[in-house]
Structure 1
């Protein structure tokens, strides 16, 4: 349900985007008694609920259970190969989403004093936001529009067809052979999920190692473990072309030595990164500046380059984690209405890649510490 007849309504704050950052910001302000409008174009709950944390961890749990059963002999139990139905696995994942979804439902949010709107938002000018054919007035605006998968410049990729981590969650038929482009956290988590479910997985990475933001020794050790499970890696290879075959798809990759290799698979999953969603928001009308990657520029208080406009979450391009979006949103709530301003500090942010084993760290890696402190 969406509130109607809002033309001419004035709010203390308008929040654009109902993912983690937008939900925390609007709920926090609403509970403080502010008059808040929360606008969402697609589904309330954002990436974490629908295409990120929740579904991926549900699939990881299923894949982990299968792997544990196969290795039962290591703990005195019979090694067991569990028969399963891929559609039932995917349905279980969707049921997990459905159980959690009510926490982010518009009705739940409205109980916190927030007005919810479903539609496309655009900033018309200072203090003015359009939602489809309605116009809202608000002195303060928060941009929390998140991010979406990047598309690498690969010849014929669009024509060939591909998956992202989002569309992979819509599969009802398991690919026998899966090509994954990108060896970052998303690519590796999906690689291990599908490998443990029985797919033949090949991971292509432009760099010479996986997880470049992690400690090199630890990421190399993780790669070795994943290789023993049967995942194939082509590191230092650039995907240059895609093509459809009579049975499946093909990716052509080029190594550092210039040699080209063709890889065939049933599906191609692109996991080469995320980019901020800032298009068609009208940011140029109010002077909100973007960085070279298209992220909204914010200071340590989460204020943009435009007066009375804040931003939080993936759209800021800082660290693309749900807990960072939550942290930034809480800073906005504090800084918007309280005199003692808080500043963001990302020096001790914990993060993890949910492979098995999990690779996690807090603060600087060894190489980063040596670069910074000698």
Structure 2
């Protein structure tokens, strides 16, 4: 391999958005290099959508139908049955992985490099020892769990979505900090698979969804045995007698919860470290890389898509961004990101779907012109 590559497009990150751009560009015969330092498929395949929905499927079957060997639910909720459910998660990942693999994308004509990518100038990326000077760059490095600076948290063995699916035995008592989609999905799944579960949320659980519909979901999750503590702010975490103790404050006073395991599900942060964005002249704001409506950064050669720009951090949003970028780079068509009608779903039982503006957002934008219809 030469010391310097000069492709038409260099994509950094092999998650949903990056793979979309790489595959589409290669299909049009464009010279494209894809750089990924971690696992192909990104968070969705390895730590997010796929494993979480596989575990939810096992838990749903356990609740509705009892034993189902096909998805790892045995006759009882012993450690072995939870391990079998985990085996099901691994098998689902393994069945999808070939579609996102290095081999498949090289077969499509993509030059895949397993290395860490770093900008060294506005038009150059260093991947390992190879320089890449491309006509356009697409940063699609995704996001990672955002871990809040809670006193004592670093002193205990806490879980995130990147380590949760490694468990082979059902937690005796799983404490979850965060009552968003990830927290509630995993709370219900683990409760149905035999764990005691407590969710601690500083504000309102499922606070970004319609409150009336969220209330239905929360009621169902509670009926599955999950304890949900809303309006409860965590103050510190410690290890006490072999258990993890979470100390929190609520409007009713101090709250102490002790459990065997702790899952931190308090949101996501963009993966920016080590990219050398300053060298590229790419501006960063609090939520991630700053882009215009066409997903271009302050460096006109560089686009950024998906979780790394903040906002709606969904796999399908990253794929949508990838399509826009292809239209802009390959066909030089004007594109404009539109987040208004972006759907999302929380895969609890019942599932909670959302598309378009909330009532609050609609009234803020359109005032008294808004009419609300309910069934």
- In structure 2, the residue matched to 1:331 is 324
For the residue of structure 2 that corresponds to 1:165, the secondary structure is: coil
Tell me the TM-score normalised to structure 2 length.
0.93
Match of 1:263? 257
Question: In structure 2, which of residues 129, 132, 155 is the aligned counterpart of residue 133 of structure 1?
Answer: 129
1:214 aligns with 2:209: yes
Q: Secondary structure at the match of 1:15?
A: strand
Q: Distance in 1 between matches of 2:2 and 2:209?
A: 48
Per the normalisation by structure 1, the TM-score is 0.93
Q: Which moved more, 1:18-27 or 1:126-135?
A: 126-135
1:7 aligns with 2:3: yes
**Secondary structure class of the residue paired with 1:103:** helix
Instruction: For 2:118 and 2:145, locate their aligned partners in 1 and report how far apart those are by CA, in whole Å.
Output: 22
Q: Quote the residue 1:287 is aligned against.
A: 281
Counterpart contact for 1:351–1:361, Cα < 8 Å: yes
Deviations 1:228-256, CA, capped at 9 Å, x for gaps: 22110111111111111223211001113
Q: Is the 8 A contact 1:215 1:367 kept in 2?
A: no
Q: Which of 335, 346, 349 pairs up with 1:353?
A: 346
| Partner of residue 57 from structure 1, selected from 53, 60, 77 | 53
Q: Is the 8 A contact 2:289 2:304 kept in 1?
A: yes
1:1-374 mapped onto 2 (5 Å cutoff):
5-69=1-65, 82-84=75-77, 85-207=81-203, 209-256=204-251, 259-293=253-287, 295-374=288-367
> Matches of 2:298 and 2:207 in 1, distance apart?
31
Q: How much does 1:340 deviate?
A: 2.2
Describe the superposition over 1:76-128 as per-residue Cα deviations: whole angstroms up to 9, x where unpaired: xxxx9932521111011101100110000111001221100001110111221
Deviation of residue 223 (structure 1)? 1.3
Q: How many residues align?
A: 359
1:245-300 Cα deviation digits (max 9, x unpaired): 2232110011135x22110000000000000001110101121111223x011111
Contact in 2 for aligned 1:40/1:119 (Cα 8 Å): yes
Deviations 1:184-210 (A, max 9, x none): 000000000001001110000010x21
Match of 2:327, SS state, is helix
Question: RMSD of aligned C-alpha atoms?
Answer: 1.5
Q: Secondary structure at the match of 1:48?
A: helix
**Residues of 2 paired with 1:305 and 1:127: CA distance?**
13
Structure 2 gaps, min length 5: 68-72, 368-375
Distance 1:179 1:305 in 2: 42
Partner deviation per Cα, 1:291-349 (whole Å, 9 max, x = no partner):
223x0111111111112100111001121111110000011011012132221111111
> CA 1:339–1:217 in structure 2 vs 1: closer, same or farther (change >3 Å)?
same
**Aligned partners of 1:195, 1:70: CA distance in 2, in Å?**
14
